[in-house]
Structure 1
Amino acid sequence: MAIKYFNKEEINHARNTDILEYLLSKGENFLKQGNYYRHAEHSSWVYDNRKKVMYFNKEVTNYATNSCITVALKVYQFNFNEAVTDILSSGAEILLEERFEKDKLAKPMFDYKREVKEDINTNAAFDYLVNKRQLDAQLVEQLIKAGLIRQDNHQNIVFKYLNRETNQLHDVVGVELRGSRLIPEEKRIHPNRPYFLMQHELNQPDTGFYIQLSPRFQTAELKVFEAPIEVLSYLTIKKDCLFHQEQRQNIDFLSMGGLKQSVVFEHYKKIMLQNRLLATQKKEAVTIPTITLCVNNDEGGQKFIERFTRFLQEQAFSESFIQQKLKIELPVSQVNETLAIDYNDLLQERKGLSTITVREEGLQ
């Protein structure tokens, strides 16, 4: 079969085709939420009808695009010619170039005070994190007092994304909102998601929620998790060795907000800039941090480890760096090592085992 070659006009036609209309023509189903359309089966696929941008919020690369060709390549695994042919034959509406430029220019910077309406208290957030998720009460209280965790006027927990270059509380570049109240089954957008969850659309790209252990020192390790609650669960499990011992080097605990290697890469680059600055100020050698992947112990986490390793190779990281500086620290169930769990599952399991042990000791 002869390969068809497309001219520039045809390629632009395909690229600028309305993504939502194209996907609907392919039989995909979306649920309307204001100006957004969320895929009925893949809840992390969200289409912004104002900006004409498709977000793949749990993807590692190309997780936001306004190119219909990119979407066709990604969703249907077409090659380039197949993608262009399929789009052109779909009959979907074509958008003008000036519409894309207008939307791109219209996107405002994230403004915390404008986008988040804080509640005057944090009772619902504290109750959910400590009683429902079994996180250490003192840790949660400290993070609330520090301002890293707040509560909005809908009783959602607000996890603030700080700018890693400044590390200043006033320099918030994004937020993740997590509901503290159970959503009735009939009102859920996704049947398996009982609580509200949103990463704000205006978040600065490639940023995430993070906590530092000892920011005065160079960072020796970047520990990477999938969600803020898993960061806090790990810190609860490890609190004795992390908080009750003198630390001479910093550790960053970072949530990717999914499985996003670009978030890890950008955060690591900012750590290196800070390390070089501190090394110059203190007249000491620059520390090259370890990257420890503390992702969920499931199929998604395992595949991410493989992809991230390949990503480092593609970014020209040496084999010696990958062997010596890339570590894996997955949560492992004490009940059944084959269980797929995250760090909050492990914390809940340990709390249960601890309770059983105490009861048994009390009976002796």
Structure 2
Amino acid sequence: MQTARETDLPELLTHLGYQVKRIGRYHTTAEMDSLRIKDRRTWFRYSQGIGGDAITFLQHFCNQSFPEAVEYLLTFQGRPRDAPVKTKPVTKQDEPPKEFALPPRNADDRRVFAYLRKRGIATQVIRQFMNSGSLYEDAVHHNCVFVGRDHTGQARYAGLRGTYDRDGKGFRGDVSGSDKDIGFAIPCNPVSDQVRVFEAPIDLMSYYTLHRSCCNAVALCGLYDGALRTYLRNNPQIKRIILCLDMDQPGQETAEQLRKKYAELGYEISQEKPRSGKDWNEYLQKRKAPERGR
């Protein structure tokens, strides 16, 4: 049992077809950027609030029972038991590649507009992103669709955010086939040599509501820095990176990792934090609260 629990998780996930990436002291995957693997033996997925060891990983993500997970891990480590593994985990390699396509657009954007206004985003900011084609309402579920485009203007990523929150938690996810190396961004101003980096599109829009002079900004749509690397590659004039990640533990741990990583690459790194709240949208809503009470 202990042998199964101590399975090397980065090796296991690579074997299962995930794109494993190292960020400082932790590992994560391109498919689940809120996943953190610590000491190569334990994992935690912040977006769902669940974690555990290799056994629980197979139970949660590969539809294995406890005995099947233990059996699979022992076989994976070269210690087969008397009985062969009866079932094989569902892996990324078993699934055909999914072609990316934007969700169909709704006839109007009223629900998305109302939802973002409720979150404190300025009307002008919402319209600016809608007019640029970076934001719209999907026709089926009426989610916010945050679109990421490559340097040619081609849509390559789309993040979804539900317009109905229950207890502060609404639906969120990526459209199948999205490229996590492309982020949600404000079109780059080539005159500026700096870029601000956010976790979520709503945080970027919140900051933009507070500081209209902000010109270059990218939302990673998670904590994986692929979108930042792409942004820097496409805009070589950028010399300064301002990290505006969330104030919770994963956000600040990632900020420290990115600070070290990009400082070593020669960038000037700084961090800008909201004066209160967990993130920029929470801070914006607190700022707006007195106005709503009038």
- The answer to whether TM tops 0.5 is yes
2:106 alignment partner, one of 116, 119, 132: 119
After TM superposition, give the deviation of residue 305 of structure 1 in Å: 1.8
Q: Unaligned regions of 5+ residues in structure 2, if any?
A: 1-7, 32-36, 44-52, 54-72
SS at match of 1:160: strand
Asked if 1:330 is matched to 2:278, the reply is: no
How far, CA to CA, are the matches of 1:219 and 1:342 in structure 2? 25
- Provide the residue aligned with 2:289 in structure 1: 352
8 Å contact kept, 1:148–1:159: yes
Asked if 1:63 is matched to 2:29, the reply is: yes
Change (3 A) 1:229 1:90: farther
Question: How many residue pairs were aligned?
Answer: 246
Residues 135-146 of structure 1 aligned to structure 2 (within 5 Å)? 135-146=121-132
SS at match of 2:262: helix
Instruction: State the one-letter code of the partner of 1:76.
Output: T
2:42 alignment partner, one of 64, 72, 76: 76
How far, CA to CA, are the matches of 1:219 and 1:142 in structure 2? 20
1:295 alignment partner, one of 220, 245, 250: 245
Give the number of the structure whose residues are more often helix, by fraction: 1
After TM superposition, give the deviation of residue 61 of structure 1 in Å: 5.0
- Provide the residue aligned with 1:317 in structure 2: 265
RMSD, aligned CA: 3.8
Change (3 A) 1:18 1:310: closer
8 Å contact kept, 1:18–1:95: no
1:211 alignment partner, one of 186, 191, 197: 186
Change (3 A) 1:350 1:152: same
How far, CA to CA, are the matches of 1:94 and 1:270 in structure 2? 45
How far, CA to CA, are the matches of 1:220 and 1:88 in structure 2? 52
Residues 24-173 of structure 1 aligned to structure 2 (within 5 Å)? 53=18, 61-64=27-30, 74-76=40-42, 87-89=77-79, 92=85, 103=95, 106-112=96-102, 116-130=103-117, 132-153=118-139, 154-163=141-150, 165-166=151-152, 168=153, 171-173=154-156
After TM superposition, give the deviation of residue 151 of structure 1 in Å: 0.6
After TM superposition, give the deviation of residue 146 of structure 1 in Å: 2.3
TM-score normalised per structure 2: 0.70
After TM superposition, give the deviation of residue 351 of structure 1 in Å: 0.8
Change (3 A) 1:301 1:134: same
Bigger Rg, structure 1 or 2: 1
SS at match of 1:144: helix
2:160 alignment partner, one of 177, 181, 188: 177
1:267 alignment partner, one of 207, 231, 234: 231
SS at match of 1:198: strand
How far, CA to CA, are the matches of 1:142 and 1:16 in structure 2? 40
Change (3 A) 1:204 1:73: same
Q: Which deviations, in whole Å up to 9, do the C-alpha atoms of 1:329-362 show, x marking residues without a partner?
A: 01112xxxxxx52111111111123456xx4xxx
How far, CA to CA, are the matches of 1:93 and 1:18 in structure 2? 18
Give 4+ residue runs of structure 1 displaced > 6 Å after superposition.
83-86, 99-102
SS at match of 2:283: helix
- Provide the residue aligned with 1:6 in structure 2: none
Q: Unaligned regions of 5+ residues in structure 1, if any?
A: 1-10, 20-51, 66-70, 184-191, 243-250, 273-286, 334-339, 360-364
After TM superposition, give the deviation of residue 159 of structure 1 in Å: 0.5
Change (3 A) 1:193 1:75: farther
How far, CA to CA, are the matches of 1:125 and 1:87 in structure 2? 49
Asked if 1:198 is matched to 2:168, the reply is: no
Q: Which deviations, in whole Å up to 9, do the C-alpha atoms of 1:129-173 show, x marking residues without a partner?
A: 01x20110121122212221111121101000111x22x2xx100
Change (3 A) 1:355 1:262: same
Change (3 A) 1:162 1:75: farther
Instruction: State, as a whole percentage, how many aligned pairs show the same letter.
Output: 22
After TM superposition, give the deviation of residue 193 of structure 1 in Å: 6.1
